[in-house]
Amino acid sequence: MSQFGSLYSQYYELLYQDKDYAKEADYVDRLIQQNLDRPKTILNLGCGTGKHDELLHDRGYQIHGVDMSEEMLVIAKNKEKSGLHFSQANIQQLSLSQTFDAAISLFHVMSYQTTNLALDQVFSGVSRHLNNDGLFIFDFWYGPAVLTDLPKNTIKRLESDQVKVLRVAEPSMHVDLNTVNVNFDIFITQKSDNQLTHQKELHTMRFFFDPELEEICSRHGFRVESKHRWLGDDLPDFNTWNAVWVLRKV
């Protein structure tokens, strides 16, 4: 199955309703403001349904979000207005007609780049689309923490007025590849008629270590400005599954 099939995208916002998008947008805004003088434009790689983009637009930025999923973009395009736009693109083959002050990639989009070739293509594309001294901010699964606190089976139950959702996640490790295969079983029950739909998803996620990322950054003309645990100021450590780096194009 594809990583983001039509049913998955239909219930995406319900599955992640506990995600604090406003807090995350404030955090990204702060990282940008700390590192750029009067930034105006942002490119968002893997924008999904456009929630981060809408919130950052409210904070005064002009945003262009890209995503591969047509279903996600149907939702995102409903948010479009002056200075807030979305388009379909594979971030490994990025080709837009403008450059930006900052590029962001959130919700572990970079961990979906599971090969070195994919990473090189993304970093090269980001560099081409950034202004001089532009920022690249991305979060990812942090290797030391993944190997300290190994992935576990999880069950998530959610409910809206229309549906009940049960999501079972079963991970399997591939240490030789620095990846985790997360197998999802998603059961969606329509409340109106009790119709049950079952969908399987496979998400392959790569976890990263500092030396390999630093080498990639250097190769593509980026300097690491800072490293943090997600939503924090301190350095990532063995308890930090989700890390964020701030890079500058040099």
pLDDT in tens, 198-229: 989 899 999 999 999 999 999 999 999 999 99
Measured between alpha carbons, how far is 77 from 50 in angstroms, rounded to an integer? Answer: 8
Low-confidence ranges of the chain (pLDDT < 70): 1-10, 12-13
H/E stretch holding 66: strand 62-67
Please provide the size of the chain in residues.
250
Give me the pLDDT at residue 4, please.
39
C-alpha distances in Å from residue 224, one per residue of 85, 96, 103, 121, 214: 29, 25, 14, 19, 7
Q: How far apart are the first and last CA of the chain?
A: 40
The pLDDT, as a whole number, for residue 7 is 52
- Provide the pLDDT for residue 250: 96
Q: Residue 25 belongs to what H/E stretch? A: helix 21-35
φ, ψ for residue 152 (rounded to 5)? -125, 160
- pLDDT score, position 163: 83
Domains, the chain, ranges and CATH? 18-140+208-249 (3.40.50.150), 146-206 (2.20.130.10)
What is the pLDDT, as a whole number, of residue 199? 86
Q: What is the pLDDT of residue 1?
A: 37
Q: Which has the closest alpha carbon to 77: 103, 67, 100, 28?
A: 67
Inter-axis angle of helices 51-58 and 21-35, to 10 degrees? Answer: 60
pLDDT score of 5: 47
